[in-house]
Structure 1
Amino acid sequence: MSSYLSRFIGADRLPRNLPAFDIDVYFRLPADTIQAIRDRFHADRLPGVENRMVAMAAQIVFLRTTGRALDNAPLLPPALLRALGAALQVQPPSIASLRSIYKRRETASEHQRWARRHLGIADVSKDMLAQLSSVLSTHAGDVASIDELVTAGAHWLYDQKVLIPADRALRDLARDAFAGIERAAVRTITTVIPADQRQACRKALFATRGDAGMTVLEWLKTPPRRHSPSTLNETLAKIDFLKTLHVHEWDLLAIPLARQRAYAQAIAGRPPSESRRRKDNTQLLEVICFLRMTLLDLTDSALFQTGRRIGDFSRQASGKTQSRQAQRSGDYRAGLASIKDLVSDATRTPEQRLAAITEVLDALGDLSPNSHAAVVREALSDDPVRVHSLLSAVSNLEFRGRPNDRSLNHLQQLRQWGAAGVNAIPADQKMAVSKVWDPLVNASDRRRAFRALEACTALELRKGLRRGSIWIDHSLTFREREQMLIPRDQWEREKSQYLSALSLPADPDAYVNPILKLVEAGLAAVVEAKNDGAVSIDAQGMLRLPAMDPLPDEVEPQRLRDLMYRQIGSVQFPDLILDIDALVNFSEVLLGRRAVDEHELVAVYAALFAHGTEIDAKSVAAMIPQLNPGHVAGAMRALESPGRLQRANRQVVEFQRQHAIAALWGTGSLGSSDMMSIDASRNLWNARVDPRRRTYAVGVYTHLLDHHGIVYNQPVVLNERQAGPAIEGVVQHNATNEGTRLQRLAVDTHGYTYPGMTFAKLLGFDLCPRLKNLAERKLFLPRRMDTPEGLERVVIRDVSLKAIRTGWDEMMRVAASILSGRVSATVMLQRLGSAADDDPVRRAAEQLGRLLRTAYLCDYFSNPAFRREIHTVLNRGESVHQLQRTVYTGKIAPERGRRRDELVAISGAHTLLTNVVVAWNTHRMQAVVDRWRKAGQTVEDTWLARMGPAHSSHINFRGLFRFGIDRYREMLIQARSTSRRSA
């Protein structure tokens, strides 16, 4: 069941003002139930039979929707009674509770039993409670609070068709499961970490560091600042400090990573003085997990900064080289002009002219041809300080790698020479480097050769980290690839099960041969389209497509859309958020429970504004009078709990999909993904220059369904290929969505690579890129496949089927590891990027991806309807990007976005606010359409299909925010009599 359709599970009462939309979605009586109720009461001639029929229907729909018996509701919602009475064709009571309808409690109990039998719901038993306890113990490692565990238990019982018991019983089981996880974690820590190390860690973490009065805990949780050598040095200093506490030696794999991060966030989100007062075991858990997660995060940050610094060196060297080459080009032209003048100078003898020409040539220097890359390598070799300083700084990191990795060997050699004070390669030692570096590293000038070796090592270190041939054990992103994948012995044992889950054969030919037949059919279709003039090949061998004609009848949908939004009218952003929250209860997802009071609810909204817009906590507190900056900051920290924003987004999207008008926009099987950049300070360490807008920014990569809902978001680094995030979003969506799966994903040129095409297909969907560059519109075929006549200039026959067969098994292992969640597609696709050319998996994925892209492009070229569909969904993504920019109009403040968790929260909150606007517009559009049609006005579905909900001119996003909670109190705030305490 989807997250939205399950939002009433576990509820023990209904709000009095239940919306008509909820009644239609959750509490509608099916025909078989209506007939069963009529049959049940057909012989009842006693007074009040109609009331009892309505009460029976209420028992059934409440039990079916919530999984609980209708015991505690003081009053039934009048709108629900009217709807049930209309369905049963009887007169319902205007005001009713179970007590007013049932004069005898035995009758009410008998009706409840009948409802349970009708729905097939069993009473909870001791055996079922024992199973539930086991399930909760399993779930306890993945949730952040007891409230979330209670919700998980209620959902599990609902799926098992078992009556959900009272909240207290569930909460007791959840507490026991949570306590069991904590006890197991404490046992792991006391077993793995010696007592003296545990005591030293506690003492060191709360000690004061330096003269500023800052504790070590506060120092460690201070995020990296701007992109600079000093930031990298400080990050490395923190890593060195943690290693003195032996944190890198701890094996805490027995504690789930989600629990480690939850314990770490708990201590990071409160003052050190408060953490020091915690109970011994709780403090121990939080301290150890904080130190471990901090080490993992800092290591990732240090390696990312190192790679970026090396990239800076190359880019700056390239810039200097370009200016140097431009100057040398001018000198060459001036020299050639001088030589020309000397040749024609009749006043000099031939010997004098030859001597003068020789002087000019000597002044010009070496004229031998040299590539730009070679000149860049020379410039890096002439950098005596920066490369050396970087390698010296990172040399203490415990890099590991494959035995034949030359860069790791060179790094170890340089470390030994540095310890000995050597700054020149010994004359009798020849270094094994690549062919392009050999002239510089093994040159006669041994000091310059030493600097060249450092530059070579730095560049190879960056490549090694990206392709995974070099790694660090105490890292999350830069771990050894074998640690990320399914263990090899487990893969060999369970290969058939994994391949069954992927729906893939063990024989590569059984997979490739059908694709070859598709390619042959596609090529024939392209030839036919070329003969019909639908596509053409120009003189340069580039395949060209004509511009698509606009669809006819654009005037009527535009007029209808304008009229519809005038009917909807203007709205304040706080009112819009309250409207949707009352229908969706996303605040309950964000808190892990219902808000206990108005203050807590408003603080959640304020945290959404502070994360999801350019407004900071202080400004949001000024806009919401009942809050202060401390309340907002605390709520912002709570939103950083892993998964909460993502689940809230899914719930809002599921609500939007329930509307009939959304079905006219799409089915949910087609989507698009693209990156939107958010401006940031140039001092933010992970910000980069947006090439189009020429401003520093960070990227938010979003996945949009064809009915406009954003189902996945992820912060990304600008100027890097986005095939990994594109695949990861679909994998996550398909894994958590029980409805329609995404089958095709439209992306732009940056959203695909050849390995990306391959792994998308292996994971059950198609990447559909819109290629901007005509030179990329080539068709790749196997060497032995015949080229159709007329396509010779756009066909490249270089696909190696042998490479696909060689890397097939390992490629399946990688795909199964992504599908099972052991490694993200983002990390795996980075390991299989261009730096991993010699990797058999990379070669196999590259070759298969070329073949798959050819099959896709044949459809794209020959099928205009398919091409229009891809362009349409990409354009919808752009329209939603415009809405996103309206929500986030400014830039990220310099002190924001430095931590990974905070950047994820910014991305998730921004997406949630955008989805709320889309859902509200959809809901109001549906209401207007229903009202028009009920009044007899013609509204064509074809007109509605051409509209969209990404509209914002009628919404006031800024100003003084006032939340009218009273209208929605029953829907959003937990009733006092059954309020639940968060543990």
Structure 2
Amino acid sequence: MIAFNHVVPVLNLSVFNVRRAPAFAFEQSKRATIGGRFIRVDESRDLPLLHVVEDFTQKPVCSFAVTTGGEIKIDSAAPAVDGPVQIRPAAIDLHVGFIHVPRAKIGRVTPVPAQPFFHFRRITLNPAVNRGVIDIHSAFSQHLLQLTVTDAVFAVPAYGPQNDVTLKMPAFEWVHVQLHQQKGMISLSPPTICNSALQLTTARFLGTFLPDLLQIPSFIRFYIAAQLNISRPEILSRYAERDNTRWEHQGLIKLYYDYHDFGDFPWSFRLKRLLYTRAWLSNERPGLLFDFATAWLLQNKILLPAASTLTRLIGEVRERASRRLWRRLALLPDSWQKTQLDGLLEIPEGQRMSVLEEMRKGPVTISGPSFTDALERYTRLRSMEFSRLNFSGLPAIQLRNLARYAGMASVKYISRMPDERRLAVLTAFVKAQEISALDEAVDVLDMLILDITRSAKNIGQKKRLRTLKDLDRAALLLARACTLLLDENTDEAALRQAIFRRIPKDKLAESVGKVNELARPQDTHFQDEMVEQYGRVKRFLSAMLRDLHFQAAPAGEHTLSAIHYLAELSGSKKRILDDAPEQIISGPWKRLVYDRDGRILRAGYSLCLLERLQDSLRRRDLWLENSDRWGDPRQKLLQGAEWQAQRIPVCRALGHPSDGTKAAEQLATRLDDTWKSVASRFACNAAVSISNEGKHPSLTISSLDKLDEPPALIQLNRRVRELIPPVDLTELLLEIDARTGFTREFSHVSESGARAQDLQVSLCATLLAEACNIGHEPLIKHNIPALTRHRLSWVKQNYLRAETLVSANARLVDFQSTLPLAGYWGGGEVASADGMRFVTPVKTVNSGPNRKYFGSGRGITWYNFVSDQYSGFHGIVVPGTLRDSIFVLEGLLEQQTGLNPVEIMTDTAGSSDIIFGLFWLLGYQFSPRLADAGGAIFWRADKTAHYGALNELARGCVELSKIESQWDEMMRMAGSLKLGTIHASELIRSLLRSSRPSGLAQAIMEVGRVNKTLYLLNYIDDEDYRRRILTQLNRGEGRHAVARAICYGQRGEIRKRYREGQEDQLGALGLVTNAVVLWNTLYMQEALSHLRKSGETPEEEHLARLSPLIHGHINMLGHYTFSLPEDILKGELRPLNFNTNNELTS
């Protein structure tokens, strides 16, 4: 039989420039089929077989699918067979996919195309050529996986029949046939045969020969002995009596099986070259390079050297790559620029900080002076002219690392670096900081304009309230006059006299004037009050026009012309403008921009321009060159030849046809079929009814009934919780680290591989201080080296950053996915996204107002993603409460765990036609909980079709022609998102904020309308589907409750001023929350095991309803002691803390 247990292809991903190469472990599942899961490379070393696939483009010999324990017949062997035919499960065949297995249908959810299962640098490779369908609710073990047959294990002897051979895979069944029929073998005795097989075993599975074969576990020795029909395996010990025999056999094995020593040319040279390339292009840790080197040596049959040899080699290669980078960077600036760089380390006279430290500090307030300071910081960096230097050929990721290091290291330490390294670090810093400073300046400008608008609105509302009495009085007087006017009994000839007798003419004229003065036109948005703030605006307007150099798309040309016009007037005191571009002046602004004589007023024109500028920037009709967040998103899409080269692979990877007409036809057919299917069952759907009370028919959807909890489930929940032991949060973190090793993912910012003693203790303490929002002070222990103030501050500064938190969190998420109990909750294919709100009482530009959540203050939203296994796999910090839909897709594309969520649930705020369209284009299922699902617009593709009782609902008709004409552009955009050339939030912002959607945006909306209708039809048709959405969203809310309990310090307010600090703190909170969930899952699993041993057998459906979101047994507040030292009891005072200042300044 072909045994698939623990066969691990480790994918060589050097060409994709990823930090962590995934592996895929095949293992026997409960349903007697092939199961599989992603594993980590460092975890794969524990498995018996490590096989590296280097080329994904090779055409497979053939493919097969087989159940575990089954057999497969090969019709014919390979031509020109000289030796044994080798068959081994190896590379996943990228030309085949999942095979759909018939089974009972779950609910009525429409099947979706088979989802791909390989992700490389956000590239999703879809192995399916002939795409079948796979129900998104089915388990992985219900499908068979097709594998490629390539070189492999000795199974068919050369002298055997060459067709209709049943292949089997005992590892060394014929090893002695090949090895001992070669010339030079002296003996075919059982010890020689068996020990030769053991030598070959160690070379294959360990990568080297063991000096003592008795170190091999006894069950392996007995297994091989049984294969070779040796009944007395104790004779193996005789083999080791003569070293020459062992060495002679090792030489023969190397000769006949093509093994090489590590020092043989050219193998060590090739490895050095590969390692050097990876060290130059990527930022991989030494451990990952070690794993890569080991896998490469195994693949190429190079006997592994000592671990210390590889470690030294990797260290030397990384050092060479670093020195090359420093040398090339140090050569870029000229002598004047080098002088400027050295000046960054100096402290100006009368100042307390160096220029470098000042440059690190970004804006924290939203005001005109803050904006001008931010602009001054940017212009100072720009004046150093580093943007004109040629950085091509230098790896971007290494430049970012150097810049980050310069932003964290002390000025004193940088100044003591060798000249070459110091110049390289400062060059990378200035290059990165110039871009960052520009982004931060425009961020402040955007929020400043928003603040001016908000202030104008508040002033206008207050004015409105103050003048309401005058307006009412005037309106009532005019109402009396109109009453006389409408009186049929009043003579028209005497009408004016009648009105003036009741209401004096001057009073009536005064009332008309008052109404005209106080009443506001419907299309105004407090522009009057904005113009009143011109004095505030002109303090920073000239600096903005002078220092920010905007570029424009065709839609922004008029705004750019107005900017250039005002820039030319900088310094002029003219109040009336001549020949100003008037295309930007919209209706509501005309009465404020033009005076009575039709002349343009500078104050009104300037405020009108600011409003148009903000709108154009957000829609990216205007952008700034050399900016990351405010640049042109169109330039980040795949372009020209690069796109043409990726076009077919992208379409295949996403599972879409390359032809737009075919894609539109498929969408139309699927929509029509779903309408007919749902309509045929609608009469039996008691939970949904059609209402004709409004202008258009709408649906009324009954609320879901609460799920009953049977007594057995209540009892199980109680018993499991009783068995979970109490634990301190500190011990919980250390215990989870002992099991998962997540603290090993935290590397020093300098990428040094050295580790301080008890570093894991310091890291857990730092994570706890951040997550609990209590700071370091409660955790400091001066008598414990790992918990001193200096150590904790050093760890926080050098180890706690976004990428290390992401890597550590991924390890916890991946570990959770391997637990059997988590498998009852879900397979990781479903997730939800929701936001936690945090008040930020400190001054920061990375926050926003929302009275509902933050009262009169400002705050941030931590938008996080929770899998159906209760693990949080990604989080994004959002200023204020920006629209959720901007970030929901970004979380899926950028998450770096082993999970592969293909369906995501959100609240209503995350939904729009464009979001539905983007999700479908990228191969995801979007399933929001819509508050107004019954009143939503349903769309059809066929105007002539009749859908029975639902026909009147389908009142919109999609324009398929737009999809056809823009299909290639949509694929280019989707491919760019998958390849990571552009952030999803950046692209979605430009699509959603446009009041005049482009042809591309309109086409995405049409695709979204089709898929939104498909979702709505499934939503109303399947109650189980509605309940699944609710259940998953409840899981996210429950996880938020645990996070709130952990983040108890400082009233749960985030007091970090900069975005990076906020991200690090909330990243630590997510990591600690995941640790709590994982710990609870482990002990719940242990409790269930205890119950089974005690004779209790919980039902599987009850296990699926258990939840690890409990925290009552976890002590998060520490312990208090009520004992005093003897000397204090005797009336003595405690000694003064003379060392505090020394430690604080160290």
3-state secondary structure, aligned to 1:672: strand
1:314 matched to 2:466: no
The equivalent residue for 2:985 is 826
> What is the Cα deviation at residue 260 of structure 1?
1.5
Percent identity over the alignment is: 21
Q: CA deviation at 1:431?
A: 5.0
Q: 1:553 to 1:290 in 2, by over 3 A?
A: same
| 1:290 Cα offset (Å) | 0.9
Please name the residue that 1:195 is paired with. 335
- Which whole-Å CA distance do the structure 2 matches of 1:134 and 1:407 have between them? 53
8 Å CA contact retained: 1:640, 1:901: no
Does residue 802 (structure 1) correspond to residue 961 (structure 2)? The answer is yes
TM-score, scaled relative to structure 2: 0.72
1:779 matched to 2:938: yes
Structure-2 change in CA distance of 1:295 and 1:464 (3 Å): same
- Give the residue type in structure 2 aligned to 1:401: A
Identify the match of residue 1073 of structure 2 among 900, 914, 917. 914
Shift of 1:585: 1.0
Partners of 1:662 and 1:86 in 2: how far apart? Answer: 36
> Out of 223, 226, 233, which is 2:372 matched to?
233
- Cα offsets for 1:841-889 (capped at 9, x unmatched): 2222122112211111111111111111121111111111111112222
Q: Look up the match of 1:850.
A: 1009
Offset at residue 237 of structure 1 (A)? 1.9
Aligned match of 1:401? 552
In 1, the alpha carbon distance for the partners of 2:450 and 2:706 equals 44
Secondary structure (helix, strand or coil) at the match of 2:865 reads strand
SS of match in other structure, 1:418: coil
1:456-475 aligned at under 5 Å gives the runs 456-475=608-627
Q: Which position in structure 1 is the counterpart of 2:812? A: 652
- Amino acid in the other structure paired with 1:317: A
Check whether the contact 1:424–1:446 (CA below 8 A) recurs between aligned residues.
no
Give the counterpart of 2:1064 among 905, 909, 922. Answer: 905
Provide the rounded CA distance (Å) in 1 between the counterparts of 2:203 and 2:802. 32
CA distance in 1, matches of 2:196, 2:522: 82
Displacement of 1:364 after TM fit? 2.3
Displacement of 1:150: 3.1
Mapped pair 1:413 → 2:586? no
Higher relative contact order (CA 8 A, sep 6+): 1
Q: Which residue of the other structure, out of 1093, 1100, 1118, is the alignment partner of 1:934? A: 1093
Structure 2 letter corresponding to 1:423: R
- Find out whether 1:536 has 2:689 as its counterpart: yes
Q: Is the 8 A contact 1:522 1:858 kept in 2?
A: yes
Is residue 10–residue 151 contact of structure 1 (8 Å, CA) maintained in 2? Answer: no
CA gap of 1:148–1:561, structure 2 versus 1, over 3 A, is: same
- After TM superposition, give the deviation of residue 505 of structure 1 in Å: 2.0
Indicate if the aligned counterparts of 2:199 and 2:210 stay in contact, CA closer than 8 A. Answer: no
Counterpart of 2:509 (choices 359, 362, 367) is 359
Matched, 1:285 2:424: yes
Match of 2:405 in 1: 266
1:186 deviation in Å?
4.4
Q: What letter is aligned with 1:535? A: V
Quick check: 521-530 or 886-895, which moved more?
A: 886-895
Amino acid at match of 2:310: L
Residues of 2 paired with 1:835 and 1:722: CA distance?
17
Give matches, 1:811-890, under 5 Å.
Answer: 811-835=970-994, 837-890=996-1049
Amino acid at match of 2:376: A
Per-residue CA shift, 1:580-635, capped at 9, x if unaligned?
21221111111379874543222221222233331223443359954233322221
Deviation, 1:946, is 0.4
Structure 1 pair 805/74, CA: closer, same or farther in 2 (3 Å)?
same
Describe the superposition over 1:484-535 as per-residue Cα deviations: whole angstroms up to 9, x where unpaired.
1112332234422332333322222212222222222333344455533321
Query: Are 2:863 and 1:701 aligned?
Result: yes
Give the secondary structure class of the aligned counterpart of 2:378.
helix
Shift of 1:761: 1.4
Please report the RMSD computed on the Cα atoms of aligned residues, expressed in angstroms. Answer: 4.3
* Contact 1:702/1:712, CA 8 A, preserved across alignment: yes
Deviation at 1:218, TM superposition (A): 1.0
- Spell out, residue by residue over 1:647-692, the C-alpha distance to the aligned partner (whole angstroms, 9 max, x if none): 2111111111111111111111111122222332242321223554
- Contact in 2 for aligned 1:623/1:960 (Cα 8 Å): no
User: Deviation string for 1:148-206 (max 9, x for gaps)?
Assistant: 55345347538847665434443444345434544553465356533322x13322211
Amino acid at match of 1:6: V
The residue correspondences of 1:364-383 to structure 2 (distance < 5 A) are: 364-366=514-516, 371-383=521-533
Structure whose residues are more often helix by fraction: 1
CA distance in 2, matches of 1:830, 1:114: 66
| Corresponding residue for residue 685 of structure 1 | 845
Return the alpha-carbon distance in structure 2 between the equivalents of residues 474 and 869 of structure 1. Answer: 45
Structure 2 counterpart of 1:714: 876
In our comparison, the structure showing a higher alpha carbon Rg is: 2
| Gap change, CA 1:640 and 1:794, over 3 Å in 2 | farther
Asked if the contact 1:640–1:902 (Cα under 8 Å) also holds between the matched residues in 2, the reply is no
The AA in structure 1 aligned to 2:553 is: R
Aligned residue in 1 for 2:835: 675
- Equivalent residue for 1:7, pick from 42, 54, 64: 42
SS in 1 for 2:534: coil
- Cα distance per residue 1:253-310 (max 9 Å; x no partner): 4333321121122222222111111011111110011111112222222222211121
Q: Which amino acid aligns with 2:871?
A: G
Q: Cα deviations across residues 332-386 of structure 1 (Å, max 9, x unaligned)?
A: 4333433456789999964333544623433423289855541423332332223
The alpha-carbon distance between structure 1 residues 826 and 931, as it changes in their structure 2 partners (threshold 3 A), is: same
Aligned to 1:629: 789
8 Å CA contact 1:423, 1:447 repeated in 2: no
Q: Distance in 1 between matches of 2:202 and 2:1057?
A: 48
Structure 1: runs of 5+ lacking an equivalent: 14-31, 42-48, 91-97, 963-983
Cα distance change, pair 497–743 in 1 and its aligned pair in 2 (3 A): same
Structure 1 Cα separation of the partners of residues 1026 and 225 of structure 2: 51
Residues 499 and 857 (structure 1 numbering): CA distance in 2 closer, same or farther, change over 3 Å? same
Equivalent residue, structure 1, for 2:310: 170
Determine helix, strand or coil for the equivalent of 1:911: helix
TM superposition score normalised by structure 1: 0.83
SS of 2:41 mapped into structure 1: coil
1:50-61 mapped onto 2 (5 Å cutoff): none
> Against the structure 1 CA distance between its residues 284 and 427, is the aligned structure 2 distance closer, same or farther, given a 3 Å change threshold?
closer
Is 1:506 matched with 2:658?
yes
Cα distance in structure 2, aligned partners of 1:73 and 1:401:
73
Between stretches 111-120 and 574-583, larger displacement belongs to: 111-120
- The equivalent position to 1:564 in structure 2, one of 720, 723, 731, is 720
Higher strand share: 2
Classify 1:750/1:342 alpha carbon distance in 2 versus 1 (closer, same or farther; 3 Å). closer
Go from structure 1 to structure 2 and tell me whether the alpha carbon gap of 1:596 and 1:643 turns closer, same or farther (over 3 Å shift): closer
Aligned residue in 2 for 1:19 = none
Write the distance in 2 (CA, Å) between the matches of 1:459 and 1:168: 64
One-letter amino acid of the structure 2 residue matched with residue 514 of structure 1: Q
> 695-704 or 572-581, which moves further after superposition?
695-704
- Determine whether 1:587 maps to 2:749: no
Match for 1:550: what amino acid? K
Alpha-carbon distance between aligned partners in 1 of 2:528 and 2:829, rounded to the nearest angstrom = 52
User: What is the alpha-carbon distance in structure 1 between the residues aligned to residue 730 and residue 367 of structure 2?
Assistant: 40
Listed as ranges, the gaps of 5+ residues in structure 2 are 1-22, 25-37, 49-166, 177-189, 227-235, 485-489, 491-495, 1122-1146
SS of the equivalent of 2:626 reads coil
After superposition, the Cα gap between the structure-2 partners of 1:834 and 1:208, relative to the gap in structure 1 and judged at 3 Å, is same
Give the aligned partner of residue 602 of structure 2.
450
Q: After TM superposition, give the deviation of residue 250 of structure 1 in Å.
A: 3.5
The answer for the alignment partner of 2:150 in structure 1 is: none
Q: What is the rounded CA distance, in whole Å, between the counterparts of 1:87 and 1:575 in structure 2?
A: 43
